[in-house]
Amino acid sequence: MSPTGTTSPKPEPATVAPTPNTDKALESFVKSYYAVVTTDRDRTWAQLSPTMQGYAGGRHGYDGFWSTIRSVRVNQVRANASADSAVATLTFTLRHGGTSTETHRFTFVQGRGGYLIESDRLG
């Protein structure tokens, strides 16, 4: 009852709109991951699924690999959010100065409030 003696309708429970599962959001995730992977490995480690963390050789293997890379440029990303996958062409600049351009195929899972990298394969 309200103070005026009338019955108020019960408020509807608040709903949270799901994060749109779009190609652009997935492309943005890939770009943001590689923008900081050489400078903020704590953040990017948390963006890997437990499966991918295992493929990376655990935290020690992950840090060891990324310590050999100076920077990464994302040349192109083609995302397919409905299939939770993307293909990216990446250029790695190595600490010793060489570069390597590679095509990577990713799969993703949802977790921790967003995407997690589930797999990363060359080709």
Q: Beginning with the edge strand found earlier in the chain, give each strand of the sheet holding 114-122 in spatial order.
A: 69-80, 85-94, 99-111, 114-122
15 DSSP assignment:
-
For the chain, the average pLDDT equals: 87
Q: What are the residues whose beta carbons fall under 8 Å from the beta carbon of 39, sequence distance 6 or more?
A: none
Per-residue pLDDT at 21: 56
In 95-118, which positions are buried (b, 16+ CB within 10 angstroms) versus exposed (e)? eeeeeeeeebebbbeeeeeebbbb
Torsion of CA 47, 92, 27, 31, to 10 degrees: 70
Q: How far apart are CA 119 and CA 122, in angstroms?
A: 10
The CA angle 52-94-30, to the nearest 5 degrees, is 40
Expressed in angstroms, the distance from the first to the final Cα of the chain is 66
Q: Which domains does the chain have, with CATH numbers?
A: 23-122 (3.10.450.50)
Pair type for strands 99-111 and 69-80: unpaired
- Supply the pLDDT for residue 111: 84
- Residues in the chain with pLDDT values less than 50: 1-19
Which pLDDT score is estimated for 113?
83
Share of the chain above pLDDT 90, in %: 77
